[in-house]
Amino acid sequence: MKNTPFTQQHIALGAKMAEFAGYNMPISYTGINDEHATVRNNAGVFDVSHMGEFILKGPKALDLIQRVTSNDAAKLTAGKAQYSCLPNEEGGIVDDLIVYCLEENASYMLVVNASNIEKDWNWISSHNTEGVEMHNISDKTALLAIQGPKAVEYMQELTDVDLVNLKYYTFAKGTFAGVDNVIISATGYTGSGGIEIYFEDKDGNAQKVWEEVFRIGGPKGLKPIGLGARDTLRLEKGFCLYGNDIDDATSPLEAGLGWITKFTKDFTAKDILEKQKAEGVQRKLVGIEMEDKGIPRHGYKLQDAEGREIGYVTSGTQAPSLGKAIAMAYVEKAFAGEGSEVWVSVRDKALKAVVVKMPFLK
């Protein structure tokens, strides 16, 4: 297993550790519900240094990004970021990612999922026919997500960047906790606001940043948060997790990601996805809430009233902020409407649930 620059801090703090995407990662510290509530109500710090970062440079960098991603990166100006995905030749999803415009028409950073770093690098490289300069900086980049309604207020003291006026999906480069050339981004995976900070792991930077973040935030209730709460937080907001809710066999249109699929440009599998849009998809990713007692888990089958299989759960949990069991699931389009009744097959029981509009937590 690989370590992140913060692994020893997690172990020293008594985190429950486990392998995730090839890394030794903290799953929880004080418990998922406590950590979840900390992020929703105050602020928490996630080590997400396992994520992948690629730099694409040169006059043809934007052209390459346009050809391999579904969203329209031409709309990006320096300091703006965009959620997107990499479609495969069949219209499935190689990965979802964030595209950062470092310099318009010249330099970009792509942030990809940890489990897909090699896969994504190879995919993008295979389409790099115009000599775009590519650098995989994943192993030397540290990344902390400082999330929650109080995150910006607490962290402002550590940076010269105006965090309060940093709009959602924009970023700035500046000094943070005494470290130069830090990318501070108004992004995250929790739906509770906050920032993500990218910086080079060298000269003790990681230790310095970690200590300063907790020196400022610790007395105010900021806590380290594990991947367990990251999952419950993102699920309440209806954010897709690659490998669960989207994968090589699901299309962005099936997954409700039509908003990042722009047909005003050419990209991989554009024709397939245009046909899907015109004809309609046969299944859709929806939110469901349990009416009977039980927790829907990844892989559980969905049935109609007659017991016919109509779909399956992709992600599910007991939502800490809502006090009810929720899930994301693919269902046949006839059952995808809000209010549709479905039944989750849990062991040998069929438990009643209802389709609801996402996000679950407004």
Which CATH number does the domain housing residue 326 bear? 2.40.30.110
- Asked if the structure places residue 29 within a domain, the reply is no
What pLDDT, on a 0 to 100 scale, did the predictor assign at position 361?
98
Both structure tokens of 85: 């995905």
Mean pLDDT by 10 residues, the chain (362 residues): 97 98 97 98 98 98 98 98 98 98 98 98 98 98 98 98 98 98 98 98 97 98 98 98 98 98 98 98 98 97 98 98 98 98 95 98 96
- Asked if the structure places residue 293 within a domain, the reply is yes
- Asked if the structure places residue 351 within a domain, the reply is yes
What pLDDT, on a 0 to 100 scale, did the predictor assign at position 44?
98
- Asked if the structure places residue 304 within a domain, the reply is yes
What pLDDT, on a 0 to 100 scale, did the predictor assign at position 17?
98
How long is the chain? 362
Pairing of strands 194-200, 81-87: unpaired
- Residue 143 and residue 164: Cα distance in Å, rounded? 20
SS (H, E, C) the chain: CECCCCHHHHHHCCCEEEEECCEEEEEECCCHHHHHHHHHHCCEEEECCCCEEEEEECCCHHHHHHHHCCCCHHHCCCCEEEEEEEECCCCCEEEEEEEEEEECCCEEEEEECHHHHHHHHHHHHHCCCCCCEEEECHHHEEEEEEECCCHHHHHHHHECCCCCCCCCCEEEEEEECCEEEEEEECCCCCCCCEEEEEEECCCCHHHHHHHHHHHHHHHHCCEEECHHHHHHHHHHCCCCCECCCECCCCCCCCCCCHHHCCCCCCCCCHHHHHHHHHHCCCEEEEEEEECCCCCCCCCCEEECCCCCEEEEEEEEEEECCCCEEEEEEEEEHHHCCCCCEEEEEECCEEEEEEEECCCCCC
Tell me the CB-side half-sphere exposure of residue 125, using CA atoms within 13 A: 10
What pLDDT, on a 0 to 100 scale, did the predictor assign at position 226?
98
What pLDDT, on a 0 to 100 scale, did the predictor assign at position 348?
86
pTM (2 d.p.): 0.97
- Asked if the structure places residue 339 within a domain, the reply is yes
Q: Are 82 and 76 in contact (CB under 8 A)?
A: yes
Peptide bond into 87 cis (omega under 30): no
Both structure tokens of 331: 């269902």
Q: Among residues 230, 173, 164, 302, which one has the least CA distance to residue 21? A: 230
Count of domains in the chain? 1
- Asked if the structure places residue 307 within a domain, the reply is yes
Both structure tokens of 70: 């579904």
Q: Among residues 112, 110, 121, which one has the least CA distance to residue 76? A: 110
- Asked if the structure places residue 99 within a domain, the reply is no
What pLDDT, on a 0 to 100 scale, did the predictor assign at position 281?
98
- Asked if the structure places residue 113 within a domain, the reply is no
The domain containing residue 344 runs over which residues?
A: 282-356
